[in-house]
Chains A and B, each alone.
Chain A
Amino acid sequence: MIYTDLLVVGAGPAGLSAAAAAGTQGLDVLVLERSHQPGGQLVKQTHMFFGSKEQYAAYRGFEIADFLLDMIKMPNVKLQLNATALAAYDDGIWTAQVGEKYIKVKPRAVVVAAGANERNILFPGNDLPGVYGAGAVQTLMNQYGVRPAKRVVMLGAGNIGLIVSYQLLQAGVEVAAVVEASPNIGGYLVHASKLRRMGVPILTSHTVKRADGNETLESVTTWAIDEKWQGIPSTEVIWSADTLCIAVGLSPLCELLWQAGCKMVFVPELGGYVPYRDGNMATSIEGIYAAGDAAGVEEASVAMVGGKLAGLSAARYLGVDIPDESILDCHKQLEALRSGPAGAKIRAGLGKLTH
């Protein structure tokens, strides 16, 4: 049995920020990360961040991952890689698989920051090899330097769809088209304009009808849809492509929170079921906190601030004297990040998170 003050599940921006905040207060922290590399989604993000100085604006995601790793370099914070948290038990014991070993952890508090899952949608052929999550393609090309495809169709014109399309072009991959079911482009227009300038069509009110290929993907059929999102016959276009990227959104990875008995709420604006939490990231179960995409899908800057807030709240719960100003500063940063029209959906979603 391993005893620790704080267990953090996931070493993405949220988990690392939580670990840094609690570690700085002198608490013993154990971070479990499933991958062999820490940093979560940041390690594959090659574009510069928006936001303010506190959130590392103008740095690229993979550089930010390195800053966060520097911040947890202290003797009382242990980062365990190749370690998958498996289960949360009633007696407060959490289990994990570390390499080939099974371990038990008895923490005094927990921050769950496991990130999110990429969704898929239904169409014939959606299981063909070559139909990949947009994040998977980003991992192949930006983390490992492998050209993921020759010619791609991108489904989804939110920020992930647009940014990954641009990154595909940078990696020398042809992007045949970006297809978006809603009548509007969901992501930032700067990204959309860059793609259009490079000759990539963005088809709104269109979706994928089917994917075909002998053993692996060879073509994608798209069609226009009406206001009720029904396909319009004879508008089909067949694109030859070896890869179809799916960028239709993420769902929080919160199985561990379900299992721990946390109250869960269905909030579509935040990606589906999310843990109920108070303004300081505390779930309905005492001593368990949630942060980052696992608490509601937003973006990396929010994940960092939310992670810090969760770490500070956990420290306070464990008896450390945390000044109100430190907590308030996190609230202010979160408010700024969620301000303006781009944050409207998130604000509406957060409004539904009440007891």
Chain B
Amino acid sequence: MRIEEHPILDFNRGKPITFTFDGQTVTSYENETVAVALHSAGIRILSRSQKQRPRGLYCAIGNCASCMMVVDGEANVKTCITLVQEGMEVKTQIGKGILA
């Protein structure tokens, strides 16, 4: 969910961008990261551990690797520092991921 009114900040969102998450279409904006776009669409599970435990983001600035997903076929992409792009294919990562 996006914040529309804030006492201090104005959010100038860029132009709309659509990408897919596990095949489902997600609408986002230019200059949003994949993790942020998914979160605002209510998607908090980004990957699953080797033991299938759900994983979400933790630091959101690229330090912890908790947000790694498969992006356009490439595994282990830190989605909290990867910007959305039109037509991007984002998938839940299971376990270690496979090198493309």
Are A46 and B8 also in contact (CB < 8 A) when A127-B55, A171-B3, A215-B45 are? yes
- Cβ contacts B74-98/A at 8 Å (1 or 0 each): 0000001101000000000000000
Nearest first, the 10 closest Cβ-Cβ pairs linking A and B are A129-B56, A145-B11, A136-B60, A129-B44, A139-B60, A146-B40, A147-B1, A144-B36, A145-B3, A117-B63
With contacts A146-B40, A216-B44, A216-B54 known, is A133 near B7, CB below 8 A? no
Q: Does A219 contact B (CB under 8 A)?
A: no
User: CB-CB < 8 A to A215: which residues of B?
Assistant: 45, 54
Partner of A142 from B2, B9, B58, B62 at Cβ < 8 Å: B9
18 contacts between A and B (CB under 8 A): A35-B61, A35-B81, A46-B9, A84-B62, A117-B64, A118-B58, A118-B64, A128-B54, A128-B56, A135-B61, A136-B60, A137-B60, A144-B33, A144-B40, A145-B3, A145-B13, A146-B2, A146-B3
Residues in chain B within 8 A of chain A (CB atoms): 1-3, 6-9, 11, 13, 31-33, 36, 39-40, 44-46, 49, 53-64, 80-81, 83
Q: How far is the CA of A148 from the CA of B80 in the complex (A)?
A: 14
Which residues of A, 2-58, contact B by the 8 Å Cβ criterion? 34-36, 46
Q: Are B36 and A127 in contact (CB under 8 A)?
A: no
**A146 close to B58 (CB less than 8 A):** no
Would B58 and A133 count as touching, CB distance under 8 A?
yes
B39, A145: Cβ atoms closer than 8 Å: no
**Considering only CB atoms, which chain B residue lies closest to A253 in the complex?**
B63
A100 to nearest B CB, angstroms? 10
Q: Does A141 contact B (CB under 8 A)?
A: yes
Q: B62, A129: Cβ atoms under 8 Å?
A: no
A117's nearest neighbour on chain B, judged by CB, is B63
Flag whether A132 is at the interface (Cβ < 8 A). Answer: yes
Q: Is the CB of B60 within 8 A of A140?
A: yes
In the complex, A199 has a CB within 8 A of chain B: no
> Once bound together, how far apart are the Cα atoms of A216 and B60, in whole Å?
17
Which residues of chain A are within 8 angstroms of B36 by Cβ–Cβ distance? 139-140, 144, 146
Closest residue on chain B to residue A41 by CB atoms: B61
A-side contacts of B7, CB under 8 Å = 170
* A246–B13 alpha-carbon span in the complex (Å): 28
Residue of B nearest to A40 (CB): B61
CA distance A170 to B5 in the complex (A): 10
